[in-house]
Chains A and B, each alone.
Chain A
Amino acid sequence: MPQPPDARPADTGVIHDIGYRGYTGPRLGRAYAARSLFTQSLRAAYGLGRSGKSKVLPMLVLGAVTVPAVIFVAIAVALHRDELPVEYAGYLSNLGLVISIFLASQAPVLLSRDLRYHTVPLYFSRPITRTDYVRAKFAAMACAQLLLMVAPLLVLYAGALLGGMDFAHNTGQFLYGLAAAVLYALVPTSVALVIAASTPRRGFGVAAIMGYLAVSSTVAAIAVGLSSPGTGGSDATQWTALISPNGLVEALVNEAFDLGAGFDRRHAPGGLGLVVFALVAALMVAGSYRLLLRRYRNV
């Protein structure tokens, strides 16, 4: 609230009395407080409400995942193709690295910062409980990831429909893409959050998450690539996807929705593989959630 200059004392160190007004309005309680924390964290993941510098990376990543989608649409429309040059779900796995960068850089923003600057105990002096805190942060990071992936999917879908491509096919594929996006927003995110919550140092968090995600997917990718190309007998190597959250989701989605093609197609091996992969994914999310709850129990 700006004041007229003459209302300000010459010495700003002096506290001038304008009278205290109490607050008699509504107090919206714990659920509202938890929602506020969710909103604030979601905004923080994109650098909103923080310094200008912290907006750079999230916005760059958002651009990096959306611009290729625009280009694909432009190419398809210009060449009068009746189909997009990429699958919706496949588009996400191709951009896995960029999405991992976002996750690795922003998960510590949500968790490590609060630990580093000791804001966590302050939050716990408010109506929310420790469980509320974990849920709000988890949901915020998952939603930030989801938004990042839904944006290019929407570009592809809108482009396809505007370009007069088949509605039913594109809608189906778009929904598969959405399902993949939800899984990508849950499985790798949950693991990244556990890592981020274990260190108050943002740099360590970023490096550890990026290291884990990149190394595990590279190992899994190399294992699949080394297997004899083009044959169905390389299913054994597909199990390596279990060590990589990103590979796990990609394999699960490809097998469940019968997507993907080519010799390095990642897929859960058979019906048993599908069940195991789905279970491991669920375990990763649930286990990470439990670990996070335990992490904050004694803060």
Chain B
Amino acid sequence: MVLAAGARYVEGVSTAVIKTEGLTKRFPRVTALDQLTVEVRPGVVGLVGANGAGKSTLIKILLGLAPATSGRGEVLGLDIATQGSEIRERVGYMPEHDCLPPDVSATEFVVHMARMAGLPATAARERTADTLRHVGLYEERYRPMGGYSTGMKQRVKLAQALVHDPKLVLLDEPTNGLDPAGRDEMLGLIRRVHTDFGISVLVTTHLLGELERTCDHLVVIDGGKLLRSSSTASFTEATAVLAVEVTDLPGDTVADPGAAVRERLAAAGLGVQSEGPHLLLVRLAGEDTYDTIRDTVAELGLGLVRLEQRRHRVAELFTDAQDAQDAQDAQNTQDDEGGTDDAAAS
């Protein structure tokens, strides 16, 4: 899934949908964005950051709604400082908060929002019917929205962002308040917005797990600064490790079997780290790694209890970033000790 997503993401071929250069936004008391330089290409791009990392501020600035303190930016090749109206005509926005008047039907509301985006009345009606069907709202679209479930409301919010067939949609926390099933459906929909509708997506969240499955590319910001911007695949693939669990040597419970395996694997040029007397983490270098492990364990006459891929989660990114220094230190220590590699450091 992630591999396929990565393949669809055409890197370096098409032009950037969002481009910022040294974008800074200072409020009297806080700096929301600090020298943010980032380039977002067509595809589904996740904007990741903890609450207060500057995600919403960035979206506001990208829509031309708030001026940046310094720096510049472009959305779809339009300048955010001077061409706000043009940008907002071609971009859809799904806000994080509730924004639906309860005494109006979904149809009525989305038609109105389509006209607010510049669509003539007839086109607005046609596009509304189409879009609401695409997000999965049927008969209930004629009922007042006050009676909708959270899932239905999220669908209407997505529909109003898509109704004018934008080139790019900015989705602010689209899975907020949804149950696991609703969350999966919403993520599937977001994926479809790009693959089937051909609309680029910038989706923000503080829940990292769900973005791995949906996004081609992740932009991580923290404290208004760019932490990392790279393909989702590179976030997860690079840190893929194998967990290897072995049994004791038959009739010899004193010796440390893990250490023996570790020595041999390290000699074979693999990055290995001990997790316990019987458990090892081996960095996955390629298909050969499996063979090497199997052969090594067999040669030592040990039993192989477990051999599984342990994919690192993007969620570990923040801890990694915070512990980057510690990890570096730890790695240096290990290097001194015996040339082993810290598999977790990325």
Q: Are A126 and B117 in contact (CB under 8 A)?
A: yes
Q: Which of A37, A49, A53, A122 contacts B104 (CB 8 A)?
A: A49
For chain A, the count of residues having a C-beta within 8 Å of the partner chain is: 43
**Which residues of B are found within 8 Å of A23, using beta-carbon distances?**
119, 123, 127, 164-165
For chain B, the count of residues having a C-beta within 8 Å of the partner chain is: 47
Q: Is A262 an interface residue (CB 8 A)?
A: no
Q: How far is the CA of A256 from the CA of B130 in the complex (A)?
A: 57
Q: Are A122 and B119 in contact (CB under 8 A)?
A: no
Q: Is B299 an interface residue (CB 8 A)?
A: no
Contact with A along B89-106 (1 / 0, CB 8 A): 101010101111111100
Tell me the chain A residues, 102-151 only, with Cβ under 8 Å from chain B.
113-114, 117-119, 121-129
Q: Are B108 and A27 in contact (CB under 8 A)?
A: no
Q: Is B209 an interface residue (CB 8 A)?
A: no
Q: Are B138 and A8 in contact (CB under 8 A)?
A: yes
**Which residues of B are found within 8 Å of A17, using beta-carbon distances?**
196
**Which residues of A are found within 8 Å of B112, using beta-carbon distances?**
36, 40, 49
Tell me the chain A residues, 1-52 only, with Cβ under 8 Å from chain B.
1, 8, 12-15, 17-23, 25-30, 32-33, 36-37, 40, 49-51
Contact with A along B198-240 (1 / 0, CB 8 A): 1000000000000000000000000000000000000000000
Q: Are B115 and A36 in contact (CB under 8 A)?
A: yes
Q: How far is the CA of A118 from the CA of B102 in the complex (A)?
A: 11
Q: How far is the CA of A22 from the CA of B199 in the complex (A)?
A: 10
Q: How far is the CA of A15 from the CA of B133 in the complex (A)?
A: 8
Q: Are B99 and A26 in contact (CB under 8 A)?
A: no
Q: How far is the CA of A268 from the CA of B198 in the complex (A)?
A: 65
Q: Is B281 an interface residue (CB 8 A)?
A: no
* Among B100, B119, B192, B197, residue most surrounded by chain A Cβ atoms (within 10 Å): B119
Q: Are B104 and A33 in contact (CB under 8 A)?
A: no
Q: How far is the CB of B5 from chain A (nearest CB, A)?
A: 19
* Among B63, B101, B103, residue most surrounded by chain A Cβ atoms (within 10 Å): B103
Q: Are A33 and B118 in contact (CB under 8 A)?
A: yes
Tell me the chain B residues, 304-345 only, with Cβ under 8 Å from chain A.
none
Q: Are B116 and A113 in contact (CB under 8 A)?
A: no
Residue of A nearest to B128 (CB): A1
Q: Which of B65, B88, B102, B130 contacts A21 (CB 8 A)?
A: B130
Known A-B contacts A8-B138, A51-B103; the reply to A29 vs B93 at CB < 8 A is: no
Known A-B contacts A12-B138, A20-B197; the reply to A1 vs B116 at CB < 8 A is: no
**Which residues of B are found within 8 Å of A18, using beta-carbon distances?**
133
Q: Is A54 an interface residue (CB 8 A)?
A: yes
**Which residues of A are found within 8 Å of B138, using beta-carbon distances?**
8, 12
Q: Which of A15, A30, A49, A121 contacts B95 (CB 8 A)?
A: A121
Q: How far is the CA of A19 from the CA of B108 in the complex (A)?
A: 23
Known A-B contacts A8-B138, A23-B165; the reply to A123 vs B116 at CB < 8 A is: yes
Q: Are A13 and B185 in contact (CB under 8 A)?
A: yes
Q: How far is the CA of A231 from the CA of B135 in the complex (A)?
A: 73
Known A-B contacts A32-B118, A36-B116, A121-B99; the reply to A22 vs B136 at CB < 8 A is: no
Q: How far is the CA of A97 from the CA of B198 in the complex (A)?
A: 56
Q: Is B277 an interface residue (CB 8 A)?
A: no
**Which residues of B are found within 8 Å of A1, using beta-carbon distances?**
129, 133
Q: How far is the CA of A264 from the CA of B127 in the complex (A)?
A: 59
Q: How far is the CA of A13 from the CA of B164 in the complex (A)?
A: 24
Q: Is B120 an interface residue (CB 8 A)?
A: yes
Question: 5 tightest A-B contacts by CB?
Answer: A23-B165, A125-B93, A36-B115, A27-B118, A126-B116
Contact surface of A with B, Cβ cutoff 8 Å: 1, 8, 12-15, 17-23, 25-30, 32-33, 36-37, 40, 49-51, 53-54, 113-114, 117-119, 121-129
Query: A20-B130, A27-B119 provided; 16 other pairs, C-beta below 8 A?
Result: A20-B197, A23-B123, A29-B85, A29-B118, A40-B115, A49-B108, A54-B103, A114-B101, A117-B102, A119-B100, A123-B116, A126-B88, A126-B113, A128-B85, A128-B116, A129-B85
Q: List 5 A-B contacts (CB under 8 A).
A: A1-B133, A20-B134, A23-B119, A36-B112, A118-B97
